[in-house]
Amino acid sequence: GQQLNQSPQSMFIQEGEDVSMNCTSSSIFNTWLWYKQDPGEGPVLLIALYKAGELTSNGRLTAQFGITRKDSFLNISASIPSDVGIYFCAGERDDKIIFGKGTRLHILP
């Protein structure tokens, strides 16, 4: 079946650092979605990408839909403590949505 490879699985960074994470697949997707999940809460949509090559920003977050349609990345600039959480990517094709296994972001004191 279709799989998304999300990396890294975990990140430990200092406050103020930039963060980059990505998702890749052997399959083509029509939509890429990025979510953030805080402990005990449901995932919240950060950015939705609908077109190959699309680059979209949401505050300090920037995400891109890869031109091959098989990958996407999410960057966070100047990280702050509230960025801590799990970030999930999701790809959609043929009416099915596949989720990555998540990137766990930790900020060191």
Partner 1 sequence: EADIYQTPRYLVIGTGKKITLECSQTMGHDKMYWYQQDPGMELHLIHYSYGVNSTEKGDLSSESTVSRIRTEHFPLTLESARPSHTSQYLCASSEWRSSGNTIYFGEGSWLTVV
**Among the listed residues 7, 20, 31, 15, the one whose alpha carbon sits nearest the alpha carbon of residue 84:** 15
Closer Cβ to partner 1, 18 or 58, answer by number: 58
Is residue 70 near partner 1 by the rule CB under 8 A? no
| Minimum CB distance to partner 1, residue 97 (Å) | 5
Binding site for partner 1 (CB under 8 A): 1, 30-31, 33, 35, 39-45, 48, 50-51, 86, 88, 90, 92, 95, 97, 99-102, 104
